[in-house]
């Protein structure tokens, strides 16, 4: 039931208690005004239709800052999401009241980004970030529904994974060794042959390697900033992988004179944990010296999958090696497997043989008739 009281100022105040225990008030010189407000509010609270009038003034930008502070995501994810908000969303939606935002506005924004030449992947990421932000606003009962939920991102044509040739890897690692970067060269070879992610390779300690069984246990990674994470990207990423003997011997040479539990791949000066941006700069410089005009450190991972599938290794085995959670991710490389279409080509060969034999038989019969 609403409660009423007259304040020392002479104003009347009505108080309505919400189901969660909070109290809301309304003040006015006339008791009839606050009584009308209180009775109407009490009805809305009982029906479950009451909404705080202050939410009408909350902008998308204000809610974004609150939501951002509540999220528990990885540092790299937060940095990428903040970039999407700053570059693509803030100017367009930051000052728009949450309750005034419409689906049409979001669709117009997608079209505007496309006309501005923004790539489909960047638009898709920003749109997904906006959808997550608005979905949280629905959960917080600031809005009734997510206006961006059914907005479709621009079509994105999936590109076939790029990969390095054996010759290109040899040229790049030679370029690294020519300037005294043996550790970086060995790490590049490990990534290109075994398919480790950069963070997985950079995180390796000597104790992660079973030197006798020639395997590596992937149980942790480092971030682009060089910080350890005690868990991998997905549950499938925790795995044990084999290593070519010759790569393992080079890794062992890096550990000579160092503790068995030392980090295997470290900076050239100071022996510190690697930084993603610095390592990428080194990698690009090696590419330039080697004359390799495509790819990035992550292309090393594509390279391992591509080489193995071209040699007839099954998709399931490559999926396990790379730690893909979903086989569809591995299927991006399927076109490289010579076994992939063998059933079709073999069927054509059989059909062609039968057709040729039948034609020969018909020809013999015609020859006999003549």
Task: For residue range 30-82, list pLDDT tens digits in order.
Answer: 999 889 988 888 888 887 776 666 556 789 999 999 999 998 887 778 888 99
Dihedral angle sign, alpha carbons of residues 124, 129, 133, 138:
positive
Q: Which two tokens stand for residue 72?
A: 């528990």
CA–CA separation, 63 vs 40, rounded Å? 28
pLDDT per residue over 274-286, tens digit each? 999 999 999 999 9
Cβ–Cβ < 8 Å for 176, 188 = yes
Give the pairing of strands 239-242 and 215-218: antiparallel
| Residue 350 neighbours by CB distance under 10 Å | 10
CB neighbour burial string for 255-294, b if at least 16 within 10 angstroms, e if fewer: eeeeeeeebbbbbeeeeebbbbeebeebbeebbeebebee
Within this chain, domains 60-139 and 166-336 share the same CATH topology: no
Tell me which of 128 and 45 has the higher pLDDT.
128
Helix ranges, the chain (H): 31-47, 60-70, 75-84, 90-93, 103-115, 120-139, 166-178, 182-194, 198-202, 245-254, 276-290, 299-310, 315-322, 327-330, 342-369
267: left (phi over 0), alpha (psi -120 to 50) or beta: beta
280-289: Cβ within 8 A, 24+ apart: 282/176, 282/181, 282/184, 283/172, 283/184, 283/188, 286/172, 286/173, 286/175, 286/176, 286/181, 286/184, 287/172, 287/175, 289/175, 289/178
Mention every residue, 6+ apart, whose C-beta is less than 8 A from residue 6.
12, 13, 31
Q: Report domain extents, the chain.
A: 3-50, 60-139, 166-336
Q: Indicate the class that CATH gives domain 60-139.
A: mainly alpha
DSSP 56: G
DSSP helix/strand/coil, 241:
strand
pLDDT per residue over 208-240, tens digit each? 999 999 999 998 899 888 888 876 666 667 889
CA–CA separation, 336 vs 328, rounded Å? 15
Asked whether residue 127 carries a pLDDT value surpassing 90, the answer given is: yes
pTM recorded for the entire structure: 0.66
Mention every residue, 6+ apart, whose C-beta is less than 8 A from residue 80.
125
Identify the CATH number of the domain defined by range 166-336. 1.10.443.10
C-alpha pair distances (Å), 297 with each of 224, 281, 366: 12, 10, 66
Q: What is the pLDDT of residue 25?
A: 86
Which 3-state string (H, E, C) describes 302-355? HHHHHHHHHCCCCHHHHHHHHCCCCHHHHHHHHHHCCCCCHHHHHHHHHHHHHH
CA–CA separation, 174 vs 182, rounded Å? 9
Q: Which residues pair with 6 in a beta bridge?
A: 12
pLDDT per residue over 154-177, tens digit each? 987 767 778 999 999 999 999 999
| Residue 345 neighbours by CB distance under 10 Å | 10
């Amino acid at each position: 039931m609403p409660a009423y009281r007259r304040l020392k100022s002479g104003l009347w105040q009505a108080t309505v208690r919400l189901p969660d225990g909070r109290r809301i008030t309304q003040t006015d010189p006339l008791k009839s005004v606050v009584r009308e407000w209180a009775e109407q509010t009490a009805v809305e609270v009982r029906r479950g239709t009451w909404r705080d009038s202050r939410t009408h003034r909350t902008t998308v930008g204000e809610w974004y800052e609150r939501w951002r502070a509540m999220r528990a995501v990885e540092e790299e994810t937060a940095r990428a999401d903040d970039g999407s908000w700053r570059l693509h969303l803030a100017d367009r939606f930051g000052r728009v009241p949450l309750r005034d935002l419409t689906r049409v506005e979001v669709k117009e924004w997608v079209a505007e980004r496309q006309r501005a030449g923004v790539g489909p992947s960047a638009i898709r990421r920003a749109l997904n970030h906006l959808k997550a932000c608005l979905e949280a606003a629905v959960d917080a009962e600031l809005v009734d529904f997510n206006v961006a939920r059914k907005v479709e991102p621009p079509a994105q044509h999936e590109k076939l994974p790029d990969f390095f040739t054996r010759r290109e890897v040899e040229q790049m690692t030679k370029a690294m060794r020519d300037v005294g970067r043996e550790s970086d060269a060995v790490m590049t070879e490990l990534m290109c042959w075994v398919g480790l992610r950069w963070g997985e390779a950079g995180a390796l300690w000597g104790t992660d390697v079973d030197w006798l069984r020639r395997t590596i246990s992937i149980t942790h990674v480092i971030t682009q900033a060089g910080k350890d994470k005690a868990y991998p990207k997905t549950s499938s990423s925790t795995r044990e992988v084999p290593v070519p003997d010759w790569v393992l011997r080079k890794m062992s040479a890096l550990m000579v004179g160092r503790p068995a539990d030392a980090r295997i791949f470290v900076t050239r000066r100071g022996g510190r944990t690697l930084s993603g941006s610095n390592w990428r700069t080194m990698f690009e410089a090696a590419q330039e010296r080697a004359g390799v005009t495509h790819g990035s450190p992550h292309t090393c991972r594509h390279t391992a999958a591509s080489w193995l599938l071209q040699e007839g290794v099954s998709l399931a085995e490559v999926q396990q090696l790379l730690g893909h959670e979903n086989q569809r991710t591995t299927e991006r490389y399927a076109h490289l497997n010579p076994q992939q279409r063998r059933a079709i080509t073999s069927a054509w060969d059989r059909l062609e043989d039968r057709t040729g034999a039948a034609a020969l038989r018909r020809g013999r019969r015609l020859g006999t008739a003549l």
